[in-house]
């Protein structure tokens, strides 16, 4: 990359001029600010103390030496202590010649790629996927694709939380009030039917709790002794004991949910290399807990519960097994982590889970370390902010959630309405138009979710996401379609894009700006992978779309009379479209050919 060339040239110039080695940590080139002439800038103030010269003098001396000895530089200028360097147009044209037709542009290769396992989604089988799951799935899937593009060996996995007290609540509610309902009988997706039962349990439990409170019990005590709570706990105990009737009902209702999940995943464009199930891993976790108990790593209380004391690690005591022998989330996570490492021997194990679980993953890593697992340090929690609505947080047990399927329906319907209003259908057949509405709607949703830094809590507004102006998915999609329209017009005029041309010796301002931005794409992929941040790719796409539109306004393409200039601009446009398409693919966003 150009930064490495410039850094090397600066160090050589510094050593030649001053017979000293510069402090490398200060040799940092950044993009020159738009109001100044130049491509890259270096601040020379840190070198004034050692050289005992003014910053302007140092910048001028080094600038002269670098330009005279470095072929890629054409000129420089100095503003106070800032050395602004201008890259020769030949360098950008050589890049264009090498990469414009390269199908692997932006895909990095590593001599020793890391093996990375990324877990995302991790739904509970007591409710359908909702808005929060959408951010989780899109973030996890996109990080996996970006890390693959950066040259890593990546495996996408899902852990389905298919057992536990929450599942028993839905099962118990179905037994009591389900009236034999099935997805087939109700024409309702299985995950939604089971979710309705979970909400019904909460409604009935609240009635019992309120009654107990009128009898003088505190709310927490009332919840603990309510008949429904006791029945749900007994059902969990029977499940772990292998009760056939309980297991059969559990299997039946979970299968309803899996069919519903699969439909939602397919529509959202999410996939996995492997799916783990808590019901299959919690026993492995229990074995490891008992192993730790034997080694004295964990301890048992008088009631039979098993704990890990993490007070020396700045945490507290953590429950690993309940008094009745049933497991907790931590139990199955211990087992799953161990099984996953045995499956993949990964260098990095990334968990995409909301920031509400920061403490949980701190504990998991320390518990595994106490068990003597050398790979415990490879665990990384990709902690992301919650998605909130204008009216506040969602509550699954009360049914106050934005259902994932309903949300996709809404953004697609909005895309349909806005596309029709803007007259962007160009006499499309209904099948093509419906596909376009789907592409725009889901593209809007995905871009809106992923353009925000993962660490930030975000406020989701569906209406804002489906907009054809501003920093939105549809704006970028429309830019891509615009480029494709230009290229179709070229083909209609028998202009062959693969014709070799004599490249221009000098670039116009907007030609260069677009080319320089395209040049940064591989570095952006690498940075996004290192930061686990699809937002960097999303905002790069937006910058690229804006830059192309400015180029399109200022530089005639089809109307250009100079044949070589016209062909270069067409090839540059095609390069931009291909890069937008590649960046969008890393976010799971489709790019329409026309709209």
Q: What is the 3-state secondary structure (H, E, C) of 2-68?
A: HHHHHHHHHHHHHHHHHCCCCCHHHCCEEECCCCCCCCEEEECHHHHHHHCCCHHHHHHHHHHHHHH
Alpha carbon 356 to chain centroid, angstroms: 18
Helices 190-214 and 227-240, interaxial angle, to 10°?
130
List all residues 6 or more positions away from 237 whose beta carbon is below 8 Å from its beta carbon: 324, 326
* Residue 98 located in a structural domain: no
The pTM (predicted TM-score) of the whole model is 0.91
- 444 CB burial (10 A radius; 0-12, 13-18, 19+): buried
Same-domain status, 389 and 332: yes
Position 115 in a domain = no
Q: Give the chain's domain count.
A: 3
Examine residue 242 and state whether it is found in any structural domain, yes or no.
yes
Q: Given 69, 87, 105, which residue is the final one in a domain? A: 87
Comparing CA positions, the residue from 374, 169, 151 lying closest to residue 253 is: 169
State whether 423 and 394 are in the same domain: no
Residue 497 within a domain: yes
pLDDT at 399: 46
Same domain, 354 and 412: no
Looking at the fold, whether 245 and 289 belong to one and the same domain comes out as yes
Q: Are residues 427 and 312 in the same domain?
A: no
pLDDT at site 391: 61
In this structure, is residue 593 part of a structural domain?
no
User: Residue 173 is part of which domain span?
Assistant: 120-398
β-strand partners of 321:
306, 327
- Note whether 288 and 336 are same-domain residues: yes
- In 3D, which of 430, 470, 473 has the Cα closest to residue 450? 473
Calpha distance 484→68 (Å, rounded): 42
DSSP structure string for 116-162: EEEE----BTTS--BHHHHHHHHHHHHHHHHHHHTT-EEEEEEEEB-
CATH code (residue 558):
1.10.730.10
Residues of the chain whose pLDDT is less than 70? Answer: 390-400, 424
Final residue before a domain boundary, out of 398, 418, 450: 398
Residue 93 lies in a domain: no
Which CATH number fits the domain that encloses residue 229?
Answer: 3.40.50.620
Looking up residue 11, the CATH number of its domain turns out to be 3.30.1360.70
Q: Are 522 and 488 in contact (CB under 8 A)?
A: no
Q: What are phi and psi of 498, to 5 degrees?
A: -85, 10
For residues 408 and 392, state if they share a domain. Answer: no
Same domain membership, residue 312 and residue 458: no
Same domain, 333 and 424: no
Instruction: Answer yes or no: is 105 within a domain.
Output: no
Residues 75 and 174 in one domain: no
Q: What is the DSSP letter of 217?
A: -
Domain end marker among 354, 378, 398: 398
Q: How many CB atoms lie within 10 A of CB 36?
A: 11
- Long-range Cβ contacts of 243-246 (<8 Å, 24+ apart): 246/171
First to last CA, the chain: 36
385 with 442, same domain? no
| Judgement on whether residues 417 and 394 belong to the same structural domain of the protein | no
Which residues, including other chains, have CB under 8 Å from residue 576's CB and lie 6 or more apart? 483, 514, 518, 544, 548
Domain assignment present for 208: yes
């Amino acid at each position: 990359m150009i930064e490495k060339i410039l850094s090397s040239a600066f160090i050589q110039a510094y050593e030649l001029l001053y017979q000293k080695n510069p402090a490398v940590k200060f040799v940092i080139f950044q993009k020159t600010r738009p109001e100044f002439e130049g491509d890259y800038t270096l601040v020379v103030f840190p070198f004034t103390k050692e050289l005992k010269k003014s910053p302007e003098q140092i910048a001028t001396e080094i600038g002269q030496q670098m330009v005279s000895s470095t072929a890629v530089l054409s000129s420089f200028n100095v503003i106070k202590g800032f050395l602004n360097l201008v890259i020769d147009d030949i360098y950008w044209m050589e890049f264009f010649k090498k990469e414009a037709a390269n199908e692997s542009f932006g895909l990095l290769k590593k001599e020793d790629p890391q093996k990375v396992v990324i877990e995302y989604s991790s739904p509970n089988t007591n409710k359908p996927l909702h808005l929060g799951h959408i951010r989780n799935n899109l973030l996890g899937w996109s990080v996996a694709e970006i890390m693959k593009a950066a040259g890593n060996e990546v495996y996408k996995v899902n852990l389905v939380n298919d057992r536990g007290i929450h599942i028993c609540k839905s099962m118990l509610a179905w037994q009591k009030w389900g009236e034999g309902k099935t997805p087939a009988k109700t024409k309702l997706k299985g995950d939604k039917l089971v979710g309705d039962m979970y909400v019904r349990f909460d409604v009935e439990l609240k009635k019992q709790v309120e009654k107990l409170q009128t009898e003088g019990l505190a709310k927490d005590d009332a919840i603990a002794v309510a008949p429904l709570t006791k029945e749900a706990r007994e059902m969990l105990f029977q499940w772990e004991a292998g009760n056939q009737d309980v297991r059969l009902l559990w299997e039946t209702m979970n299968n309803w949910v899996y069919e519903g999940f699969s439909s939602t995943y397919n529509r959202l464009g999410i996939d996995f290399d492997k799916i783990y199930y808590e019901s299959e891993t919690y026993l492995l976790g229990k074995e490891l807990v008992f192993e730790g108990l034997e080694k004295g790593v964990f301890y048992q209380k008088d009631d039979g519960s098993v704990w890990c004391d993490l007070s020396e690690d700045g945490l507290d005591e953590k429950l690993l097994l309940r008094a009745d022998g049933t497991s907790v989330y931590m139990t199955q996570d211990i087992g799953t982590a161990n099984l996953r490492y045995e499956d993949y021997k990964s260098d990095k194990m990334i968990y995409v889970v909301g920031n509400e679980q920061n403490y949980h993953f701190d504990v998991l890593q320390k518990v595994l370390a106490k068990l003597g697992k050398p790979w415990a340090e490879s665990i990384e929690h990709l902690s992301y902010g919650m998605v909130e609505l204008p009216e506040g947080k969602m509550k699954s047990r009360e049914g106050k959630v934005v259902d994932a399927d309903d949300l996709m329906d809404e953004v697609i319907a909005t895309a349909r309405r806005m596309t029709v209003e803007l007259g962007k259908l160009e006499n499309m057949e209904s099948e093509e138009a419906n596909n376009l509405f789907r592409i725009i709607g889901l593209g809007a949703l995905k871009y809106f979710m992923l353009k925000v830094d993962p660490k930030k809590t975000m406020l989701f507004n569906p209406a804002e996401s489906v907009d054809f102006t501003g920093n939105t998915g549809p704006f970028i999609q429309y830019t891509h379609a615009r480029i494709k329209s230009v290229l179709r017009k070229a083909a209609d005029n028998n202009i062959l894009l693969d014709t070799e041309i004599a490249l221009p010796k000098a670039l116009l301002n907007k030609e260069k700006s677009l080319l320089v931005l395209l040049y940064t794409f591989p570095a952006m992929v690498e940075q996004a992978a290192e930061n686990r941040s699809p937002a960097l790719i999303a905002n790069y796409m937006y910058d690229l779309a804006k830059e192309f539109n400015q180029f399109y306004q200022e530089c005639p393409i089809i109307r250009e009379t100079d044949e070589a200039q016209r062909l270069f601009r067409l090839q540059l446009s095609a390069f931009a479209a291909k890069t937008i398409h590649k960046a969008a693919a890393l976010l799971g966003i489709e790019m329409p050919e026309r709209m």
